[in-house]
Amino acid sequence: MAECSEAPGDDSLGYSYGIGADVASREDRASHLSHFPRIRLRAPALAAGATAVLIAVTWLAMTGHKATAQQTAAQQVSYSGAIPRSLPATGVGDDGQATPAAQPADTWKDFTVQRGDTLASLFQQAGLTAAQLLAVVHLKGPVRQLVALRPGDQLRIRSDAQGLLELRYPLDALNTLVINRVGDGLRATVAHVDPSRRLVIASGVLYTSLSSAMQRQGLDYSMVAAVADIFRWRVNFHRDLRPGTSFSVMYQKLYRGDRLIGNGPIVAVQLHIGDRSVQAFRFDGGHGDVHYYDQHGRSLTPSLLRTPVHYIRVSSPFSLHRFDPVVHVWRPHYGVDLAAPAGTPIHAAGDGVIKYIGPAGGYGNLVEIRNFGPYSTRYAHMRRFAKGLHDGSRVHQGEVIGYVGETGEATGPHLHFEIRVDGVPHNPLKMRLPDGSPIPRRERARFEAQIHPLLAALDHVQTGAVRLADSSDHNGAALLPAMN
């Protein structure tokens, strides 16, 4: 077992988009991306490549549309409670003084919550009673949010001589809490409005950094980071990207009426790097099983990760002939040392079963996973293990199995990581990784039907064979019609 030289790092491989990218903050990743090649563009023609174009895409082919409608129905949950009859006509003043409830019948009163307002004070202003306030507060479910009003919140109340008829309180851009009088009681429901979704495409050419090129096309940091995430196993963002690399990103924008309320997921994305083109399509296999696949239905995530920790640098490379700095003898280094701060989470590189977990000599605290087929992985020098794991535990790719430390023969905190094939160690940074699971056979036809119009759209953007948008929205991305 040879671990842990802090020898000159072999970071030239640039495989820093390990699973750890998932645990880094958006800002971390975004700032990382701003270090993409910053080379001056020589061919001025390329500068003209930043165009947003308008294409008709059959939205009905997209997934998620039906599901949203079903969710809407499911969200119409009611919460009922009794309301006192023959309510005393008193207000809810904290001075205990009764105020007359001279209430004109059936009119809306609108309130904008001010600092210091409470539901009680608003009810008082609306001429409602303490008993009515209690009846509302005792309703279960989303009514909780009413109790924690914030300045700026909007509230509408309609009442008659008997008291509260209806209360409406927007919970967010798409959901409104509605309390109605029904018979002798009150009922709370959440009225949900589906956003309208518009598919937009942002397209451009890199001439300083991918990050800035994308931002010029209205894609924010989180979108840039998402693109890097999607391609992190197919594209080396430090080495491969050159001026002239072009991108097209198709994603959803969510609207309520004409108001943009946020971005939906990236639906398809394409990079052209030299003569090479890489594409990714989002596919929802149901049960929350959403992944990105290439146009052939191959997963963009290999079934084993090269670097199962968000590391700072490679502190010691894989080597079959290496001088060990700790014990000063020549011996091979059967893994790669990934330096990271103590306590950094370590993720399972692939699905599998824990074959060993515990202290193991020079390895320190070690986890060995039998992954699948001939593949197994080892993770050494952990400070501690994730809770609840034991020999025989089943783990999934990306699951946290422990934390970086320097137990065993180690000169600093790092993960010593090995991938073995039939017990023979391979260089995790250079070996060919086993492919991820492809689109299941039964979903194949649905996948192809879904990506067909997207592929056509990406092709058209890339070749410029579509007319330019007459108008684009304020973010510079063209809107694609026929949504929803």
What is residue 447's three-state secondary structure?
A: helix
What is residue 123's three-state secondary structure?
A: helix
- Using CB under 5 A as the binding rule, whether residue 324 contacts Zn ion is answered as no
- Using CB under 5 A as the binding rule, whether residue 381 contacts Zn ion is answered as no
* Segment interacting with Zn ion (CB under 5 A) among 64-72, 113-121, 334-342, 431-439: 334-342
Residues in Cβ contact with 181 at an 8 Å cutoff, skipping those fewer than 6 apart:
83, 162, 163, 164, 165, 166, 187
Looking at beta carbons only, is 237 or 417 nearer to Zn ion?
Answer: 417
User: 119-125 — which CB contacts under 8 Å span 24+ positions?
Assistant: 119/146, 119/147, 119/149, 120/92, 120/94, 122/149, 122/155, 122/157, 123/92, 123/157, 124/91, 124/92, 124/93, 124/99
Minimum separation from the CB atom of position 440 to Zn ion (A): 38
For 61, the token pair is: 């082919």
* Segment interacting with Zn ion (CB under 5 A) among 3-11, 210-218, 341-349, 441-449: 3-11
Q: Which of 29, 198, 310, 416 binds Zn ion (CB under 5 A)?
A: 416
- Using CB under 5 A as the binding rule, whether residue 3 contacts Zn ion is answered as yes
* Segment interacting with Zn ion (CB under 5 A) among 63-71, 370-378, 385-393, 415-423: 415-423
Residue of this chain nearest to Zn ion (CB atom):
416
Minimum separation from the CB atom of position 199 to Zn ion (A): 47
* Segment interacting with Zn ion (CB under 5 A) among 29-37, 151-159, 253-261, 332-340: 332-340
Looking at beta carbons only, is 272 or 306 nearer to Zn ion?
Answer: 306
* Segment interacting with Zn ion (CB under 5 A) among 112-120, 306-314, 364-372, 416-424: 416-424
Residues in Cβ contact with 313 at an 8 Å cutoff, skipping those fewer than 6 apart:
9, 11, 338, 339
What is residue 13's three-state secondary structure?
A: helix
Looking at beta carbons only, is 4 or 62 nearer to Zn ion?
Answer: 4
Minimum separation from the CB atom of position 353 to Zn ion (A): 24
Distance separating alpha carbons of residues 395 and 397, to the nearest angstrom: 7
Looking at beta carbons only, is 4 or 177 nearer to Zn ion?
Answer: 4
Binding pattern to Zn ion, positions 4-33, x when CB under 5 A? x-----------------------------
- Residue 223 near residue 249, CB atoms below 8 Å: yes
Looking at beta carbons only, is 3 or 240 nearer to Zn ion?
Answer: 3
Minimum separation from the CB atom of position 393 to Zn ion (A): 24
- Residue 135 near residue 84, CB atoms below 8 Å: yes
Distance separating alpha carbons of residues 379 and 367, to the nearest angstrom: 5
* Segment interacting with Zn ion (CB under 5 A) among 1-9, 88-96, 152-160, 453-461: 1-9
Helical pair 221-230 and 26-33, crossing angle rounded to 10 deg: 80
Looking at beta carbons only, is 292 or 334 nearer to Zn ion?
Answer: 334
- Using CB under 5 A as the binding rule, whether residue 368 contacts Zn ion is answered as no
Question: What is the DSSP secondary structure assignment for residue 126, as one 8-state letter?
Answer: T
Closest CA to 204 of 240, 246, 171: 246
Looking at beta carbons only, is 243 or 364 nearer to Zn ion?
Answer: 364
- Using CB under 5 A as the binding rule, whether residue 337 contacts Zn ion is answered as yes
C-alpha 273 chain-centroid distance? 26
Minimum separation from the CB atom of position 425 to Zn ion (A): 11
Give the binding site for Zn ion (CB under 5 A).
3-4, 337, 416
